[in-house]
Amino acid sequence: MKKVLIVTGGSRGIGHSTSVLAAEAGWDVCVNYVSNKSRADETVALIKASGQRGIAVQADITKEDDVIRLFETCTQELGPVTGVVNSAGIVEPYGRVDEISYADLAPLIDINVTAMIMVTGEAIKNMSSKHGGAGGAIVLVSSVSARLGGPAFCAPYAASKGAVDSFAWGVAQEVVGEGIRVNAVSPGLIDTEIQPEGRVEAAGPNLPMGRVGQPDEVARAIVFLLSDDASYIAGSNLDVAAGR
**CA 231, CA 78: separation in Å to the nearest integer?**
23
Least distance to ligand NAP, CB of residue 80, Å: 22
Residue with the CB atom nearest ligand NAP in the bound state: 13
Contact between 5 and ligand NAP per CB under 6 A: no
Q: Specify the residue, 11 or 120, whose C-beta has the smaller distance to ligand NAP.
A: 11
Site string for ligand NAP, 45-84 (x = CB under 6 A): ---------------xxx----------------------
Angle between helices 13-24 and 37-49 (to 10 degrees): 20
**3-state helix/strand/coil string of 37-76:** HHHHHHHHHHHHHCCCCEEEEECCCCCHHHHHHHHHHHHH
Among 20, 21, 29, 34, binds ligand NAP (CB under 6 A): 34
Point out which span in 34-42, 49-57, 122-130, 169-177 binds ligand NAP (CB under 6 A). 34-42
Contact between 187 and ligand NAP per CB under 6 A: yes
Active site annotation includes 157: yes
Residues near ligand NAP, by CB under 6 A: 8-9, 11-15, 32-36, 39, 60-62, 87-90, 111, 141, 143, 187, 189-190, 192-194
